[in-house]
Chain A
Amino acid sequence: MKRVSPIAVGCLFFFLVPCAFAGESLDKLYGTLEKPTYIKYYEIDKAEKVLLNPYLQIASAQHPGILHSRRSPYNWVIDAKGRVGIIQEADHPYGRTYAKGYVRPEDNSKRKPGTSEKYGHISAVAGAPSRIGGEILFDKRTRSWVINNKSGRYSLGNVDRTPEQLTNAAKLIQVVIDPGEVPWGSVVFLLKYAPKNVADELQKGPDVKYDDVATKSNPYVLVDPLPDNATLVGQAAANDDPS
C-alpha cells in the first residue's frame, strides 16, 4: 500500500477545514442556502435561464455597492459567498401589464389593475440557492433607509430566517453599501416573512408593533444592528459635509 505524505495531508487539512468553517459561519450568520420557493413564468427566458437584473450590484468589501433615494425600492439577498446582491425594481421584458389586475399564483393575492410584472429577488442571483433576503426602502417620513426581511423567495418559508439573521445581514449591508446622502435608519423584521414558530413567539412578546394597531395588520419588530464601532461606507464623507 502506498504511503501518503503527512505533509500533503497536513496541507489538505489546513485548506479544507477553514473552507468548511467559512461555509458554516455564513450559514449561521445569514441562514442556510435554499432554493427560491418559486420562479415566476416570466423570469425565465427562451433558453430557460433566469435573467439577471440590468441594474444588478454585487456588494462586498472589495466592491461596495451604492444607493440613491430616487431608485428606491431596492431588493437585496445574501448570496452563497456572503455578498449582498442588490437590484432595482423594473418592469420585466418577459412580463405583462394587467389592465384588469390579476391573481398571483404564489399566494392567491389579487393585484390591482395596471400592475406590471417586475424583476424579483432571483434576478440578483440568477435563481441560485441563497440566504436571507429583503428590501431596502427610502422612508420619506424619516428620510432614511429602512432594511427589512421581505422576500417571498428567500425569507418566507425558511426556518432559519430569524431576527438574528436579519440583524447580521443589515450589519453587512451597512458596511458594504454606500447609502449616498441618505443615512441608515430602522431595520424591520416582518413577522409575515418569518418562520411560523418564530412569528408566533414574537407576536406574544412586548416588542411587536403593527402597521395598524386597531386591526393588528402587518406585525413587525425593530432590530438594531449598529454596534458602536461599525465602519460605514461613506459615513466619513457624509460627516465632513454638513449639507
Chain B
Amino acid sequence: MKALTFGLFLLLSLFVVTVPTIFADEDEDEWDDDDRSEYEQRGSSEIEREQEREREREHEDDDDDEEGLAFGGGMPDTILYGTIVVIIGSVAYTGYKIYKTKRPKLSA
C-alpha cells in the first residue's frame, strides 16, 4: 500500500511538471532556418517593419483582454489577498482554539 501511494505521488508530480510544459507558448522571437532564409531574401528592413506591426497588434490584443475583465484591475487581486488572509486566519484560529483547550489551568 505504501509503494502504491508513493507511485501515485510520483506519477502526480511528473504530471504536474510535464503538462504545463506541453501547453506552454513557444518562443515567438526564436528564429528557425525558414526565418533566416526569408530574412536573407527579403532584406532586414521589411521584416523588421512586419515584426513591429505584429508586436503592436499583440499589444492591442493584451489591452483588449485587460478591458474584458469583469471586475477591473484591482478587485481580483484584492480577492486573492483576502483569500490568503482568510486561510491564514482560519489556520491560526484553529490552532488557538486547540491551544486554549489544552492549556493547563493555573491554580491560585
Q: Are A and B genuine complex partners?
A: no
**B residues apposed to A, CB below 8 Å:** none
**A residues apposed to B, CB below 8 Å:** none
